[in-house]
Amino acid sequence: MLAAELRAHIASGRWAEGDQLPSEAELCLQSNASRGTVRHALAALRAEGLISGGQGKPPVVAHAVKSQSFSTFMSFTEWAHSVGQEPGQRTIELAKRTAGEQVAQQLQVEESSMVVQVLRLRLLDGTPAMIERSSFEPEAGRLLFDFDTDSGSIFSYLREQGIDLARGRHIIDAVAADATDSELLGVAQGTPLLREQRITSTSTGEVLEYSDDRYLPQLANFTIENTSEHRAALSRIPSAVA
């Protein structure tokens, strides 16, 4: 994907902040792509805030905050690779316990139901970037006890085991860092964090996972791109129901 290749140039420093990008004609030659493909890739980077310019002005690199596109929303690992950084993880806890009110509501189970929960610190090039709190229904979650959760993507592993992780519903908001966030991310309690709540289901709608992921906002943001012809399924939800 050309947009991912261009993001990697920015993330690696090959194109630094303020650098002018090659012309569309040069990008076509370099990538062996059509002008339409090049323009679509540049539009994606512009929508993510990675480049500025347009309307007759040549595009330039705007800033280096790593933007996670909805196209890679299901995988921190895939996103990190797309921006030219090395993903990492450190597992703090893997346990089986009762769901509790919040998790039970999201997984659509009784509060007394047993679920498998994972707490991991996610890293970009060795730097703490996100706290991942995931809760899985038992049949999918039990497989994690046979997996080294420090080794890579949980979703990739579960899919290899035949788990149908097909659909995701995402809620984005801001929360204050709690004691765990403070310790693992190295920030003061109360520091604003960017939160993504994700509900993952099968292709038939069975909910398998609920996750509360909290990012350092200076290291990541989220973008969605649409057009008047192709509108993404995005809605704004009052914070009271998040």
CATH number assigned to the domain comprising residue 29: 1.10.10.10
Parent domain of 187: 67-227
Instruction: State the pLDDT confidence band at 208, using cuts at 50, 70 and 90.
Output: very high
Confirm whether 233 is domain-assigned: no
- Which residues are CB-contacts of 106 (< 8 A; sequence separation ≥ 6)? 135, 197, 199, 207, 210
CA 99 vs CA 23, 171, 241: distances in Å: 54, 20, 19
The CATH number assigned to the domain holding 170 equals: 3.40.1410.10
Given 64, 91, 117, which residue is the final one in a domain? 64
pLDDT attached to residue 63 = 57
Confirm whether 221 is domain-assigned: yes
User: Does 152 lie in the same domain as 53?
Assistant: no
- Decide which of 35 and 8 is more confident: 35
User: Does 221 lie in the same domain as 126?
Assistant: yes
User: Does 116 lie in the same domain as 81?
Assistant: yes
User: Does 45 lie in the same domain as 96?
Assistant: no
pLDDT attached to residue 159 = 92
User: Does 90 lie in the same domain as 196?
Assistant: yes
CA 86 vs CA 118, 128, 225: distances in Å: 21, 12, 25
Q: How many domains does the chain have?
A: 2
pLDDT tens digits along 150-199: 999 999 899 999 999 888 888 889 999 999 999 999 999 999 999 999 99
pLDDT attached to residue 56 = 67
Instruction: State the pLDDT confidence band at 227, using cuts at 50, 70 and 90.
Output: low
**What ranges make up the beta strands (E) of the chain?**
51-54, 57-61, 66-69, 87-98, 114-124, 127-136, 167-176, 192-201, 207-215, 220-223
User: Does 162 lie in the same domain as 53?
Assistant: no
pLDDT tens digits along 59-115: 888 855 554 444 445 578 877 877 778 899 999 999 999 999 999 999 999 999 999
pLDDT attached to residue 72 = 45
Confirm whether 234 is domain-assigned: no
User: Does 80 lie in the same domain as 17?
Assistant: no
Confirm whether 235 is domain-assigned: no
User: Does 223 lie in the same domain as 157?
Assistant: yes
User: Does 72 lie in the same domain as 45?
Assistant: no
User: Does 38 lie in the same domain as 130?
Assistant: no
Confirm whether 134 is domain-assigned: yes
- Decide which of 41 and 12 is more confident: 41
User: Does 151 lie in the same domain as 32?
Assistant: no
* 5-9, 65-69, 169-173, 220-224: least confident range: 65-69
CA distance 63 to 61: 6
Instruction: State the pLDDT confidence band at 239, using cuts at 50, 70 and 90.
Output: very low
Length of the chain: 242
